[in-house]
Amino acid sequence: MKTHTQWKCVDGDNIFTDGVDGCAFVHFRDGIEVESRKIKLSDGSTVFMAKVVARKEAAQYIREKDTKNVRVISDSRYALMALNSPTEKRRIIYSIKERINCNIDLYWVKAHQGIIGNEEADTLAKEVTRLERTDYFFSKSCLQIRNEAKIKIPTRWQEKWKSLKNGKWTRRFFDEVNFNRVLGNFYENQIYTTHGVFGTYQERFFHKNPICD
């Protein structure tokens, strides 16, 4: 397996891969489209995983057809680097390398440069969302879970804050929740929360006389 950062349109077997919400590849032989496939991934899959799966499916396809001297072209430099790295430990990358049993060259091209094969693969990858079946299932990464939590937690907090029976006085000043500390002044906070040295508060919680001396 060889990797290249430049590709020129040549005859022979050229397979273009791409991935977005799903992934796809298109096989051209001597400039004529021979076959194409679309692969749907589960919700939560990253663009990187889609592009890697596209290459995995292309490698499997090459193996099935027993095709020799194939050029696989993609617009993902990151995926190309992962496949070329001797220290890459992700299972899916290793499985692609296992499937390669012929002379294969991996090429990178810039996206949306009018390269017919690349544009066709991009179009097919976007059409994958219409498919009812799902071909690959991936668990969400820790980073994806954290990013989702950053969005969901403030939303649920805001909903709860608006629906609470308590805190009506404080909501007059702070109707929007925020992780940033708003005030750090001990005495001002007593005013905004009505919790503190006020007579009514002392009477309610400590049964003290609310009338000032």
Give residue-wise pLDDT tens across range 154-205.
999 999 999 998 888 888 888 888 888 766 777 788 778 777 777 777 777 7
Cα separation, 57 vs 37, in Å, equals 9
Please name each of the domains of the chain with its CATH number: 7-139 (3.30.420.10), 144-206 (no CATH)
The residue assigned the tokens 């991936």 is 138
Where do the DSSP E strands lie in the chain?
Answer: 2-4, 13-19, 23-29, 32-39, 70-74, 104-108
Angle, helix 47-65 to helix 116-127, in steps of 10 degrees = 110
Q: What are the residues facing 37 on neighbouring strands?
A: 25
pLDDT for the residue 143: 79
Q: How many CA atoms lie within 13 A of 109 on its CB side?
A: 23
Buried b (16+ CB within 10 A) or exposed e, 104-129: bebbbbeeeeebebbbbbbebbbebe
**pLDDT at 2 exceeding the cut of 60:** no
Burial (CB < 10 A; 0-12, 13-18, 19+), residue 178, is exposed
Give residue-wise pLDDT tens across range 101-150.
667 888 888 888 888 898 999 999 999 988 889 988 877 778 778 888 99
